[in-house]
A and B are shown apart, each in its own frame.
Chain A
Amino acid sequence: MSERGPRRVVVTGLGAVSSAGMGADEFTASIRAGRRTTSPVRSFDTTGFPHVHAGEVHDFEPRRWLRGIDPGQWGRSSQFAASAARLAVEDAGLAADDLARTRAGSVMGTTSGESAVIEELVGAWAADGLKALPPDLVGSAPAGRIAAAVNSELGLPGEALTLATACSASNYALGYAFDMVACGDADYMLAGGADSLNRWAHAGFYRLGALAEEICRPFDTDRSGILTAEGGVALLLEPYERAVARGARIYAEVLGYSVNCDAEHMVHPDPTSIAACIRAAHRSAGVEPEQIDYICAHGTGTRTNDATEVAAVREVFGERIPPISSIKSMIGHTMGAASGFGALICCRALHDGFLPPTAGVRRTDPDLGPGVDPVPGQARLAQPSIVENHGFAFGGNNAITILGRVT
């Protein structure tokens, strides 16, 4: 049934806009050190919210990073995505003009699209009624602008696709980009995701009892929920042969991926369905469970997610669970960008030789069962060969990517 494209696909460029810094180097250094970069929210008024911490990108200056588009005409998520993509192309050592002459495109994931724009519109509505909506803001509201911003910034002539599959969206994007490059539909693809902080999600997660007060502690006995966050991330994918021919630095090979849907409940993940997704991802990559050296967890820090995720992993891996950590412990939950940041750190882990940590773990929750190694504290030196990157979403949307070291 499955019809894999004939080309091997590798990641040669990484870009990040995050609370942990700009660019893949700053981001990676921050994560390796186990530094927590969440902080009190400044981008919206938090008066009346009992919990006010989030992974905000403070003092983001789009004009410093963007060359092709005028940031004033694009929303915050689009600016994040385009900046991350620009950084990824630079990181890949590609001249943007050369890239624009190829069949290059982008596919970006998001949960809430241009939510900061929508909240500005809501502000105008609350103040003066719907007839007072500022027309230029209306034009910036569609979520599809996120991938469009990437293509506009870089002058890419190929597809510009925005996938709104919530918190697994970047993995969805990475899988699609992989197929497009593998089958020859595209010469290069930028894949990733972007989301902006917003009041409504902060209120919604608080109301659901899923928002931590100050610290997100995945896998810890005392974990109490997520911290909302924002940012943009992009990975540049190209065929292995071309990367080698142009002498590019290859971070990792995309080995395969899988997507499925629990079809059970909008907000409760289902371990059996997640386990099925993990198995399908292994089949797609042609690997066995014992070959997986590390799992970059969805690891939101809610009691339910972490318990369900470990149960699903246990179902597939049995007694030996690979080290499993969550970078959300440091940067919070960047929503549609989350599995993109996971993929980015997986690429660096494979290339640089380390396992990303989980910050803030004081006691690994015994209820998760034996053998759970969340890599507490700081990064651990290691030489992982094949790693697994999890993304689960609202609506029971699961997406898992498998990345491997190219030796």
Chain B
Amino acid sequence: MTSAAVAPASVATAPRRTTNPLAVTPLAITAVGAVSAAGIGLEALGRAVVEGAAGYTDPSGIGEESLPPRPVRIVPDLPVAELLGRKGTRHLDRTTKLALVACRLTLDAHPGQTGERSGVVLGTSTGSIRSSSEFSLETLRQERPYLVNPSLFPNTVMNCAAGQIAIRHKLHGVNATIAGGHLSGVQALRYARNALRQGHADRILVGGVEEFCAQSAWGWHLSGSLGTDVPVGEGAAMLMVEQDADASAAGHPVLARVLACETGYGTPGRLADALASVVSTALERCDRRPEQVGAVSYGATGLTGLQRIEERGVRAALGDRVPGRRVAVKEPVGECFSATGILQIAGLIGAWRHTAALAGELALVTAVARDGNVGCAVLEAGHLG
């Protein structure tokens, strides 16, 4: 054993390239897929965001439990059979179906290959809270607690959707599930950026998913953390993300670039400062000035107490200037919790495309959570053709 004793040190002390700690390599978004109450596909979402249209609002068909008296946004007619096939979908829960449909749409829109060297980074909060709580309820209601359906057990595990995506599309690269709630989008991008940099995959599907169910609707309603007139929604969005240089080399058209994504943590009472600080750091890291930011998409819109904190933090970082374009994704799709972050980005790209925005327009996508997490991403419009 002693023969190997020096190996780690010698390996580790081999000269390594030192990098400027502030420099970050941009990520290229080369395909986008989205399902939401605005409809199936990016175009529907982009149009709804630009026009401020309310999405689909009929929750019948979600289940038998009664729902709280408040507005909702539901994905209409999820095309499961058309996009996923008829067999092997019987036990998939709504979370997994939403994620698989968004994934299918993204892969269909992606010009390059997937497979072997592709990965998945998917944002959630609890996995399907409906699946885990219904499975748990069965242990109380059956004659014996173990008389549960074993085929539903996988749905109770938080990485179920990410695993199903990998299996369906044979994606052998990194397969991460981020439990970040409202921060899932920014955290997933950060995680994917590192994974690409470390070579754990050549391209990564970065997504977020949230299903509408009675359990979470009541949770939002009773906790008071969401404004009473704010609809509870659902959806999934997925971005195909590659290193910018790889996308260029492969000739993939770049819809948008993620120039920076930063996260931090603030103590209660210091959340706005913490957000302002990560926004400033993010702009610094991609060498952009606050006045260049042309659009903002806020993640905490509608969240009691947090909406103002978020707006205050952004204003502080941008020098009291409010950018011209405000991308409000919650009006059409509702409060989508873990899917919100990536839906903000998909909504931004959809809106850019719908309005034929010029390449180079700069946007800020922010997120704040009550526990203290704050984050933001800086995006630049590509050739949206």
* Residues of A in contact with B (beta carbons under 8 Å apart): 1-6, 8, 47-50, 105, 110-115, 118-119, 121-123, 125-126, 130-131, 133, 135, 138-139, 141-146, 148, 151-152, 155-166, 172, 176, 179-180, 183-185, 198-204, 206-208, 240, 253, 255, 258-267, 273, 276, 285-287, 290-291, 293, 382-386, 393-397, 404-407
Interface check B325, CB cutoff 8 A: no
Question: Which chain A residues border B266 with CB–CB below 8 Å?
Answer: 157
| Distance in angstroms between the alpha carbons of A109 and B303 in the assembled complex | 27
* B371 contact from A125, A138, A145, A157, Cβ within 8 A: A145
Taking CB atoms, residues of chain A closer than 8 Å to B178 are 161-164
Contact of A266 among B21, B65, B66, B160 (CB under 8 A): B160
Q: Which B residues have a C-beta under 8 Å from some C-beta of A?
A: 1-2, 4-9, 11-14, 16-19, 21, 65-66, 68, 119-120, 124-127, 129, 132-133, 135-141, 143-148, 150, 153-154, 156-160, 162-164, 166-167, 169-181, 183-184, 187, 190-191, 194-195, 197-200, 202, 214-215, 218-219, 222-225, 263-267, 274, 369-373
> B159–A397 contact, CB under 8 A?
yes
Return the contact of B140 from the options A50, A122, A290, A397 (Cβ within 8 A).
A122
A198 and B171 in contact (CB under 8 A), knowing A151-B372, A287-B11?
no
Tell whether, in the assembled complex, residue A118 and residue B68 are in contact, meaning their CB atoms are under 8 Å apart.
Answer: no
Closest to A104 in B: B265
Known: A203-B138, A385-B7. 12 other contacts (CB 8 A): A3-B198, A6-B17, A118-B132, A122-B133, A130-B66, A130-B214, A141-B126, A152-B372, A165-B159, A165-B177, A204-B150, A286-B11
B residues near A122, Cβ cutoff 8 Å: 133, 136-137, 140
User: Is A394 touching B16 in the complex (CB atoms < 8 A)?
Assistant: no
User: Given that A160-B372, A396-B166 are contacting pairs, would A385 and B2 also be in contact in the complex, using a CB cutoff of 8 Å?
Assistant: yes
Complex: A290 Cα to B181 Cα, angstroms: 43
**B contact residues around A261 at 8 Å (CB):** 119-120, 163, 166, 171-175
Nearest-neighbour CB distance to chain B for A360, whole angstroms, equals 24
- Contact of B264 with A199 in the complex, beta carbons under 8 Å: no
CB contact between B175 and one of A155, A253, A395 (< 8 Å): that residue: A395
CA distance A182 to B21 in the complex (A): 11
Q: Chain B residues with Cβ under 8 A from A143's Cβ?
A: 124-127, 158, 179
Q: When chains A and B are docked, how far (Å) is the Cα of A68 from the Cα of B76?
A: 45
In Å, the complex CA distance between A148 and B4 comes to 39
A–B Cβ pairs within 8 angstroms, 15 of them: A6-B18, A122-B136, A133-B222, A138-B223, A139-B225, A143-B127, A144-B125, A144-B373, A160-B372, A184-B21, A185-B21, A266-B160, A266-B164, A267-B154, A385-B5
In the A-B complex, list the 10 residue pairs whose CB atoms are closest, starting with the nearest: A395-B163, A404-B8, A2-B199, A286-B11, A143-B179, A164-B158, A261-B175, A204-B153, A148-B371, A1-B199
**Beyond A131-B218, A165-B175, is A156–B163 a contact (Cβ under 8 Å)?**
no
**In the complex, what distance in Å separates the CA atom of A49 from the CA atom of B14?**
56
A166 CA to B154 CA, complexed, in Å: 11
Q: How far is the CB of B52 from chain A (nearest CB, A)?
A: 29
Known: A2-B198, A130-B218, A291-B4. A395 touches B265 (CB 8 A): no
**Given the complex, which residues of B lie within 8 Å of A166, measured CB to CB?**
157-159, 177
**Which chain A residue shows the least CB distance to B150?**
A207
In the bound complex, what is the Cα–Cα distance between A8 and B7 (angstroms)? 13
Residue from B19, B136, B181 whose CB has the most chain A CB atoms within 10 Å: B136
Q: Known contacts being A162-B178, A163-B178, A396-B163, is A118 close to B1, with CB within 8 Å?
A: no
Bound Cα distance A144, B119 (Å): 22
Q: How far is the CB of A189 from chain B (nearest CB, A)?
A: 12
A158 and B265 in contact (CB under 8 A), knowing A397-B159, A397-B163?
A: yes
By beta carbon, the residue of chain A nearest B160 is: A395
Nearest CB in chain B: distance from A203 CB, A: 5
Query: Which residues of the other chain, B, contact A164 by a CB distance below 8 angstroms?
Result: 124, 127, 158-159, 177-179
Per the bound structure, the CA–CA distance linking A285 and B169 in Å amounts to 29
Does B153 lie within 8 Å of A207, measured CB to CB? yes
- Looking at the complex, which one of B13, B14, B129, B187 makes contact with A141 (CB distance below 8 Å)? B129
Q: Check B222–A259 contact: CB distance below 8 A.
A: no
For B156, the chain A residues whose CB sits under 8 A away are 112, 200-201, 204
Closest to B119 in A: A261
Closest to B12 in A: A8
Residue of B nearest to A114 (CB): B126
**Are A141 and B372 interface neighbours, CB within 8 A?**
no
Complex: A176 Cα to B190 Cα, angstroms? 10
Docked Cα-Cα span, A201 to B154, in Å, equals: 10
CA distance A258 to B175 in the complex (A): 11
| Residues of chain B with a CB closer than 8 A to A263's CB | 166-167, 169-172, 175
For residue A198, which residues in chain B have a CB less than 8 angstroms away from its CB?
136
Whether the pair B222, A135 counts as a contact (CB closer than 8 A) is: yes
Bound-complex Cα distance A121 to B141 (A): 15
A179–B166 CB distance below 8 A: no
Q: Which of A50, A156, A259, A262 contacts B265 (CB 8 A)?
A: A156
Contacts of A405 in B (CB 8 A): 5, 8
- Chain A contacts for B373, CB-based, 8 A: 144, 148, 160
Find out whether the CB atom of B7 lies under 8 angstroms from the CB atom of A291.
yes
Residue from A179, A200, A240, A266 in contact with B194 in the complex, judged by beta carbons closer than 8 Å:
A179
In the assembly, what is the distance between CA of A1 and CA of B249, in Å?
14
Q: How far is the CA of A145 from the CA of B372 in the complex (A)?
A: 10
Residue of B nearest to A50 (CB): B146
How distant is the Cα of A151 from the Cα of B170 in the complex, in angstroms? Answer: 36
Given the interface contacts A125-B133, A386-B4, does A161 sit within 8 Å of B159 by beta carbon? no
Chain A residue at minimum C-beta to C-beta distance from B144: A48
Please give, as numbers and ranges, the residues of chain A lying within 8 Å of B169 by CB-CB distance.
Answer: 263
B187: contacting residue among A161, A291, A407, CB under 8 A: A161
